[in-house]
Structure 1
Amino acid sequence: MNDFSELERELKRLQPVEPSATLTDRIEQALTDVTEIPANVITPRRFTINWVGLGLGLAAAAAFLILARIDFRPAARTQSQVATAVPESTAPLSNFVPAAVTRVVYHTRDEGLVFPRGQERPVRRVRTAQRETLQWRDPQNGASLRVSYPTEEVTLIPVSGQ
C-alpha cells in the first residue's frame, strides 16, 4: 500500500511541459490553411439528391394511380345471380337404421385445480380427446353409412375434503 501512496505523491508533483513556440506556430498555421487539401487525403463524397430521377419516379407513380383507378366496389353488371336447379324427380329416401356407435378415447389430461367465477370451492378440470364413429344400415338393400368425427370434452369435477 505504501508503494501506491508514494507513487501518487510523485505523480502529483509532476507538471506538464510547456509546448515550444514552434509547435504552437505550426498548429496555428495548419488551422489557418484549411483550404489546401493534400492529394493523399480521401474526402467523403457529399450526399446529393438526384432531383430529376426523384421527379420522374413521382410522376410515374402519379400517372399509374390516375390511370389504374382501382375501384373496390363491384359494379352492378358484374354481380352474379344465384341459379336454383329444381330436380326433376326425387329419389325415395333410404330407411337407414342406427347400427353401431363407437367411442375411442385417445388422451385424457388432468389440468389441475381451477377457480371458476362465482363459486367458492375449486374444481378439477379434466380434458378428454376422443373420436366417435356412428354407423347406420339400410335393411332393405344392405347399404351402410359410417360417420366419424373427433371430439374434445372438458369435465369439471368438484373437489371436496380440503
Structure 2
Amino acid sequence: MKVDTTPAGPPSISKSALILTKALNVILSSILRSPFHRKLSQRFILLSFKGRRSGKRYTIVVGYQREDEVLEVISPRNWWRNLQGENTHVSVLLQGRWYDGVVEAFHGDETVVDGYLRAMQRSHALIGMYHVEVDETGQPKRESVCQATRTCALVRILLLPEKCI
C-alpha cells in the first residue's frame, strides 16, 4: 500500500493546469449563463466583483454551498483579496438569476477551518485535493484541515433580497 506523504495544504497548480482552468472557466461560464445551467448550477455560481486596485470587473466560476440566503465559497487562490473591506458588494449568478450580495472574506482563522470542514464533509473529493488526514470514520481531522487551510480563505456572501438584473 502506497502512503501519501504530501503535506496537507491547498492543491498546487502548474502552468498547464492554470491554462486548463482558464479554458474550463470560459466553458462553465457559458453553460451557467445558458438555459442548460440547471445541473451545473447545483454546485457552481458565477461571482462578479471589481478589482480592489484596478477597478476592473472580474467574473469567475466558483463552487459554493448554500444555507438559506448565505453562500459559502472556499478558495485556495488569492482572488478573494479583492473582497476585503466592509460592505463589499458582488453580483452572483445563482441558478439562472443574478443577485446582489454583500461579502465577508475570512483568512487564517477558525471560521476558515469550520467552513472547510463543512465543505469536506459534503464533498470528500476535497479531502484528497487538500491531502487532509481522516479519522477512523472517514471524516477529516480538524488539526489536518487547520494545517491544510493556513493559506486559504472562506468567502461568505449574503444574498440581498432584490435581484440586480
Q: TM-score, normalised by structure 1?
A: 0.20
| Larger RCO of the pair (alpha carbons < 8 Å, separation 6+) | 2
Structure having the higher Rg: 1
Q: TM-score, normalised by structure 2?
A: 0.20
Looking at secondary structure, tell me which structure has more helix per residue. Answer: 2
